[in-house]
Amino acid sequence: MTLSDTVYERLRTDIVQGRFPPLQPLRLEQLKRDYGVGFSPLREALNRLQGERLVVSAAQRGFRVRSLSVAEMWDAVNSRILIEAEALRLSIDQGGDDWEATLVASFHALSLIVQRLGTGAADGADTAALEELERRHREFHLALISACGSTWLLDFAAKLNTETERYRVLALRCATLRRERDVGAEHRAILDAALARDPERAADLLDAHYRETGHFLEQVLQDAGTAAS
């Protein structure tokens, strides 16, 4: 693990977590001090983040955090539906026993932490638990498509996941309203369809799941926007 890799991951999470506001210039001198590294690993990390579309750069003008908007959120959500629905169909077609095993396991791990958070401490307070929730959520959705056999689709899905994660984090920050629908039930339905080897039903459920999440995020962002203005 090189310094570049470390800085890359730290910058990545800091951007996804919204530590740097969108469109804010990322000053190298400041990052140098904050992360305690030289220019080289910083610039290498930023160049990689550009490929993931987390930052944008203009020649001689350095790097900025990429913007956020409702329109861009829907672009990411729709693209994600297209790619993950197909990857899920392929996984259902090609996945073996080991795939089913990791699928059930990751769903169970997700259910456990959802239950714990639902019954346990106050919501929003325990950031560590929320990060663990996000991690297991990502693991479950990754497990669904992990047997698709396409490195490109998995690559694209990962990029779109981090992109949409930026919006989920933002929603958690400024969400006063609670989520009405039962996301756990949606996950279970997708799992059931996958285990039943029904590609079309599974893909449709995944589509609806992401679309619902998109509507939820849109509502939160708009409420936050009007509340802020």
- Should residue 50 be labelled a site residue for DNA when binding is judged by CB under 7 A? no
In a 3-state reduction of DSSP, which class is residue 140? helix
Tokens of 213: 């999440």
- Should residue 131 be labelled a site residue for its own copies when binding is judged by CB under 8 A? no
How many residues interact with DNA (rule CB under 7 A)? 22
Q: How far is the CB of 65 from DNA (least distance, A)?
A: 12
Let me know: does 63 contact 57? Beta carbons within 8 Å. Answer: yes
Site for DNA (CB under 7 A): which residue of 34, 44, 100, 204? 44
Long-range contacts, 46-52 (Cβ 8 Å, 24+): 46/11, 48/8, 49/8, 49/11, 49/12, 49/15, 52/12, 52/159, 52/162
Stretch 62-81: interaction string toward its own copies, x if CB under 8 A? ----------x--xx-xx--
- Should residue 59 be labelled a site residue for its own copies when binding is judged by CB under 8 A? yes
Q: What is the CA radius of gyration of the chain?
A: 19
Q: Position 15: which residue type?
A: I
Tokens of 12: 């990545």
State the Cα–Cα distance between residues 136 and 49, nearest whole angstrom: 23
Site for its own copies (CB under 8 A): which residue of 10, 12, 32, 48? 48
Site for its own copies (CB under 8 A): which residue of 29, 60, 97, 229? 60
Total residue length of the chain: 229
List interacting residues with its own copies (CB under 8 A): 1-2, 4-5, 39-40, 43-44, 47-48, 50-53, 59-60, 72, 75-76, 78-79, 82-83, 86, 149-153, 155-156, 160, 163
List interacting residues with DNA (CB under 7 A): 2-4, 25-29, 37-41, 43-44, 57-63
